[in-house]
Amino acid sequence: MTPDADPSVVQPLDAGAYEEWDDASLVGRAASGDDSAFAVLVRRYQGPLFRHALRLTPDRRLAEDIVQEAFLTAWRRLPTLQTPEAFRGWLYQITTRRSIDAFRARRPEQPVDTTAPELDGLVAAEPGPEARAEQRAQLGDLAAALQELPVAQRAAWAMREVDGLSYEEVAVALGVPVSTVRGRIARARRELVERMGSWQTTRD
Amino acid sequence: MTGPTHAELRAATDDLRDELAAATEAVPGVVRLEPTLRNALRRLQAGTTVLANGRAARSAADGIELHRRGEVVDVHVDVATAADRAAGATAREVRQALARVLVAHALEPGSLTVAVLSVER
Amino acid sequence: MADDARLSCGRSIDDVWSHLDGPPDEHERTCPYCLEARARLLRLSDAAIDLRSTEAADPALQPDPGFTASVMGLVRAEVRRGQAIPLDADEVPGLTISEQAVVGLVWAAADSVPGIRARRCRVRPFTDDDGDGDGDGGEDGWQPPDEHELRSGTLVDVDLALAVEPGTSIVEATATLRRRVAEQVARETGLGVRRVDLTVEDVL
């Protein structure tokens, strides 16, 4: 991009350069109506958000619908976002909330998970040994163990340890205080470590 | 002889709208008429019109809104303009073109408004 | 596992986790329970990193190929025009340009300045009710609109947030930015830019 080329016609930003932009700049741009900037954000987050929704409601089509709706909601409400840095946590918040709602809609009768009052009724049913073995074969040890965690712990742990969100962002995503997030992730960690007793890893 | 049928009036209005659209697009600096949700909805509501002789009336040009108040006609146009001509100058010339078309039809120009919705380079 | 589960030596998994980054402390060095816990926690960390990259690369864990396009189709249908800015202050009102159109021009000008990432932008018409034709600015070599424009053309105020890339001279870049914004807006719309308020939000 030569800054002093023909000054009579200023060219728009080379599309490739956008892909390198930081989230906050893209968000700032999109908040003022730049849909090309928003498209970069979509491409950047569609995979992680999709996988996050899939972890919480294992239906592919539903997960896609949820994430699509999340992006659309984000686009509509972007002008109201106070700080561009809050975008990622906010995206995960919209996605998590809808995933939980979808899950709740499909499984109305469940025992209460006392560790997560805001996620009443969403304890994953403990799969039997055969199902577990099949899951492990398909997903690998950690992924299978994750699916056995209560949803509240699974969501918190995965957002932090797989998606790399900060504790504050996870707190925003789940609508709970940071202290609750720390407790939940610690519990998830203890559960996963306990289940590792029977894991084979390539290191062994 | 009876007056024009509702359908014929509608068709005449569609003809006028087409002419206004053509005049607008002929102005240097106008890239296109911009269909908007507002003027598209109105088109849908109007529906298709079939004339007495069985012909279907042409559909309204997107991007133009017409209101007739007796012999006075209000026109609103949504356009995209080109970057190589100042939008203000282009819009001014569009308004003049609209007035010329109306006058040529022995109609009185009422409120003529032009909204530039985008500038394209 | 209960919330306050302890290893047989009395320490908790959380204790072991809290100093996983460094070497084992005196107790841990000889404690089989702590050593086992450390080993598992390290494996868990590795497994989490593995999971992230494996899932990101797994074709079965991506949204369908048409997803981005589908989302963007919906996004672009939600067109935001902003307010209608009068193009010609003198004449009978009715010639307007959408704020969104002018914002696009501001961004095009800003994108031509190296080291600048233009973010949120607002454009507002300036109504000079005092009639003194006050053309603010004149800092950093920027030329205010000429007299004719001040009297009969519409003036606008531009509000722009931006991020600056490392190594960029902010003073030089913003001077260039103001000049190009004023020139481009004047040339492509006929509007006079009275002032350009810049907020540097981020130095990247």
Is A12 in the B-facing interface, judged by CB distances under 8 Å? yes
What is the arithmetic mean of pLDDT over A20-26? 95
Does A22 have pLDDT greater than 80?
yes
Compute the nearest-CA separation of B121 from chain A (Å): 8
A15-106 matches A117-199 in fold: no
Inter-chain CB proximity C96 and B87 less than 8 Å: no
Compute the nearest-CA separation of C136 from chain A (Å): 24
Q: Of A22, A56, A55, give the one whose Cα is nearest residue A41.
A: A22
Which of B94-98, B100-104, C79-83 has the lowest average pLDDT? C79-83
Compute the nearest-CA separation of A51 from chain C (Å): 6
A15-106 CATH: 1.10.1740.10
**Which chain C residue shows the shortest CA-CA distance from A62?**
C63
Is C201 in the A-facing interface, judged by CB distances under 8 Å? yes
Is C72 in the A-facing interface, judged by CB distances under 8 Å? yes
Predicted confidence band of residue B2 (pLDDT cuts 50, 70, 90):
low
Inter-chain CB proximity A1 and C112 less than 8 Å: yes
pLDDT of residue C24: 87
Does A141 have pLDDT greater than 80?
yes
A140 contacts in C (CB within 8 Å)? Answer: 51, 54
Compute the nearest-CA separation of A184 from chain C (Å): 10
What is the arithmetic mean of pLDDT over A28-43? 95
Inter-chain CB proximity C62 and A47 less than 8 Å: yes
Which of C111, C156, C183, C188 should be substituted to probe chain B, the one whose Cβ sees the most B Cβ atoms within 10 Å?
C188
Contacts of C134 (CB under 8 A, 6+ apart): C128, C194
pLDDT of residue A116: 57
Report the complex ipTM: 0.82
By the 8 A CB rule, do B79 and B94 touch? yes
More confident position, B58 or A185: A185
Q: Across the interface, which of C37, C46, C70 has its CB nearest the CB of A68?
A: C70
Q: Count of H helices and E strands in chain B?
A: 3, 4
Which of A143-157, A167-181, C86-100, C169-183 has the lowest average pLDDT? C86-100
C187 contacts in B (CB within 8 Å)? Answer: 86
Residues B27-84 have pLDDT tens digits of 999 999 987 766 555 555 555 445 455 544 444 457 888 888 888 999 999 999 999 9
Dihedral through CA B34, CA B40, CA B46, CA B52, nearest 10? 50
pLDDT of residue A40: 97
Is C104 in the B-facing interface, judged by CB distances under 8 Å? yes
The beta-carbon contacts of C53-60 under 8 Å, at least 24 apart in sequence, are: C54/A140, C55/A51, C55/A143, C55/A162, C56/A47, C56/A48
Which of C53, C79, C102, C107 should be substituted to probe chain A, the one whose Cβ sees the most A Cβ atoms within 10 Å?
C107
More confident position, B121 or C71: C71
Inter-chain CB proximity A10 and B121 less than 8 Å: yes
Is C40 in the A-facing interface, judged by CB distances under 8 Å? yes
The pair of structure tokens assigned to C118 is 């233009």
pLDDT of residue B121: 85
Give the C-alpha separation, A34 to B109, whole Å.
37
How high is the mean pLDDT of chain A? 82
Q: Of C147, C142, C144, give the one whose Cα is nearest residue C193.
A: C144
Considering the entire predicted model, what is its pTM? 0.81
Give the C-alpha separation, C103 to C107, whole Å.
6
The pair of structure tokens assigned to C195 is 């002032």
Residues A44-97 have pLDDT tens digits of 999 999 999 999 998 999 999 999 999 999 999 998 988 888 999 999 999 999
Contacts of C149 (CB under 8 A, 6+ apart): C155, C186, C192
Give the C-alpha separation, C161 to A84, whole Å.
11
Predicted confidence band of residue A1 (pLDDT cuts 50, 70, 90):
very low
pLDDT of residue C112: 95
pLDDT of residue C85: 93
A196 contacts in C (CB within 8 Å)? Answer: 40, 43-44
**Which chain B residue shows the shortest CA-CA distance from C93?**
B113
The pair of structure tokens assigned to C89 is 């202050």
**Which chain A residue shows the shortest CA-CA distance from C55?**
A51
By the 8 A CB rule, do C98 and B116 touch? yes
- Residue A196: its H or E element: none
Q: Across the interface, which of A7, A29, A196 has its CB nearest the CB of C40?
A: A196
Does A146 have pLDDT greater than 50?
yes
Ordered by where they begin, the domains of chain C are: 1-78 (no CATH), 82-203 (3.30.70.1350)
Is A10 in the B-facing interface, judged by CB distances under 8 Å? yes
Q: What single DSSP character describes residue B50?
A: B
Contacts of A20 (CB under 8 A, 6+ apart): none
- Residue B10: its H or E element: helix B6-26
Compute the nearest-CA separation of A182 from chain C (Å): 11
| pLDDT-flagged residues of chain C (< 70) | 1-4, 90-91, 128-153
Residues C176-185 have pLDDT tens digits of 999 999 999 9
Handedness of CA A7, A10, A16, A20 (dihedral sign): positive
Inter-chain CB proximity B117 and C81 less than 8 Å: yes
Give the C-alpha separation, B11 to B117, whole Å.
28
Does A6 have pLDDT greater than 70?
no
Handedness of CA C191, C115, C203, C72 (dihedral sign): positive
Does A7 have pLDDT greater than 70?
no
Inter-chain CB proximity A11 and B83 less than 8 Å: no
pLDDT of residue A179: 96
Inter-chain CB proximity A10 and B84 less than 8 Å: no
pLDDT of residue A189: 94
pLDDT of residue C140: 43
A64 contacts in C (CB within 8 Å)? Answer: 63-64, 67
| Domain boundaries defined on chain A | 15-106, 117-199
Give the C-alpha separation, A118 to A181, whole Å.
13
Compute the nearest-CA separation of B8 from chain C (Å): 30
Q: Across the interface, which of C95, C153, C188 has its CB nearest the CB of B119?
A: C188
Does A121 have pLDDT greater than 50?
no
Residue ranges in chain A assigned as alpha helix (H): 15-18, 23-31, 35-56, 60-77, 87-106, 129-139, 141-148, 151-161, 167-174, 178-195
Ordered by where they begin, the domains of chain B are: 6-120 (3.30.70.1350)
Ramachandran category for residue A169: left, alpha or beta (phi over 0 → left; psi -120 to 50 → alpha): alpha
A117-199 CATH: 1.10.10.10
